[in-house]
Amino acid sequence: MTAVAAKYDEIKSLGAVVLAISIDSPFTHKVWQEGELSKMVPGGLPYPMLSDTGGRVGELYDVYDEDNGVDIRGRFLIDPDGILQAMEVLAPAVGRNVAEMIRQIKACQFVRQTGEATPAGWEPGKKSLQPGAELVGKVCDIWSPDMAF
């Protein structure tokens, strides 16, 4: 969450909206924000932390662990039409990659704007693919795995 906060201006400049949602109460969020998060990010998180005390949102995104009463950490990229375009759910001990999230936001926006496809590792300015029957069997002529890095 604090890594996202550190890159918040860049994320916001892409037109993305960041929300943090957990089953914790608003009071718990306030204590966490004031007692810890604000020590890592001056002023604390610049985006809202929403409370889902019943786990309903977590259930909808299939990240609510009812037995333990917690949400499994997840990240969801939802387009302006409300359609889920990307998601990542990791074990609690595995850190997330904010640079990859930003890359995915850019890729989703590129696909939406152009109708083209972005192959593995795509970054702005890299080769994209025009989907269609003429591409079948010819991807290897215009793209290779070394272009992903």
CA pseudo-torsion sign 108, 110, 112, 116: negative
pLDDT tens for 58-96 read 999 999 999 998 899 999 999 999 999 999 999 889 999
pLDDT tens for 29-58 read 999 999 999 999 998 999 999 999 999 999
What average pLDDT score do residues 108-116 get?
97
Q: Which CATH class is domain 2-114?
A: alpha beta
Counting other chains too, the contacts that 125-134 makes at CB distance below 8 Å and 24 or more residues apart are none
**C-alpha distances out from residue 109 to 20, 98, 126, 129, Å:** 21, 17, 14, 15
DSSP 31-89: HHIIIIIHHHSTTS-SS-EEE-TT-HHHHHTT-EETTTTEEPPEEEEE-TTS-EEEEEE
What average pLDDT score do residues 99-104 get?
97
> Which pLDDT does position 92 carry in this prediction?
84
Domain ranges, ordered by start, for the chain: 2-114, 118-149
Residue of 4, 43, 40, 38 whose CA lies nearest to 20: 4
Q: Give the span between the Cα atoms of 74 and 117, in whole angstroms.
A: 24
**This prediction's pTM:** 0.91
What average pLDDT score do residues 127-134 get?
93
Average the pLDDT over each of 13-17, 69-73, 106-110, 120-124 and give the range with the smallest value.
69-73
Percentage with pLDDT > 70 across the chain: 100
